[in-house]
Amino acid sequence: HYVHETINNSIWQDVCQDMLGDANPELHLEQAKVVLSFGADFLGTWGSPVHFAKEYAKFRNSPRGTLIQVEPKMTLTGANADHWVPIRPGTEGAFALRIANLLVNKHHRDVSALPADLVKQINKYDLEKVKTVTGATGEQLIRIAQLLNGRSPSLVIAGASAEGHEHGYENVAAAMLLNLIRGNVGKTIKPSGQLPFPQMA
């Protein structure tokens, strides 16, 4: 018996398992001040839209959270975003790594816990290179890094447009890296916990 889901988030789950040790962590939009989404249409098709719609309503209450949607084509979530940033398909990882570069080198975020090779990779993503690859403007990249740096906690997620490429895993992992740099784990990303009877899952 095989189960096929046309719309699924298996790559997101793999990244969460590998980087957080939990394939399905709880995402708390309502506790974030900024949500940066790489094509995760959480108001339309991603995850549980009914659940996320309730959390989104709380996210929008005072103080009003800021939603940034980065994706190749506009989704329902993108239509509701404060900042909608169109980029070339499959370049979400480069975009995320440029944001990481700005957080590390301009905003001096502590990355001493990250492997040295990873920090070296982050440093390779200079502005002109990422502008050329993604089609985004320098002003957009700088503004998003400022928002993530200045408003805490935040939440960074990645959906179908980031996952649906040969290097989809790397795209999603780059997005998750921003959560680690900003210290979101334990605040807006929390362990899902264990079912008392896992055989019933």
pLDDT for res 201: 42
Q: Which of 125, 55, 63 is nearest to 96 (CA)?
A: 125
Is the pLDDT reported for residue 39 higher than 50?
yes
Mean pLDDT along residues 53-70? 94
Higher pLDDT, 199 or 105: 105
Q: What is the 3 state secondary structure string of the chain?
A: CCCCCCCCCHHHHHHHHHHHCCCCCEECHHHCCEEEEECCCCCCCCCCHHHHHHHHHHHCCCCCCEEEEEECCCCHHHHCCCEEEECCCCCHHHHHHHHHHHHHHCCCCCCCCCCHHHHHHHHCCCHHHHHHHHCCCHHHHHHHHHHHHHCCCEEEEECHHHHCCCCHHHHHHHHHHHHHHCCCECCCEECCCCCCCHHHC
pLDDT for res 63: 87
Q: What is the pTM of this model?
A: 0.91
Residue 194's pLDDT band, with cuts at 50, 70 and 90, is: low
| Number of other residues whose CB lies within 10 A of the CB of residue 52 | 22
Higher pLDDT, 196 or 88: 88
Tell the residue number behind the tokens 């993604």, with chain if given: 134
Instruction: Report the alpha-carbon distance of residue 81 to residue 114 in Å, rounded.
Output: 31
Asked if residue 153 has a cis previous peptide bond (ω within 30° of 0), the answer is yes
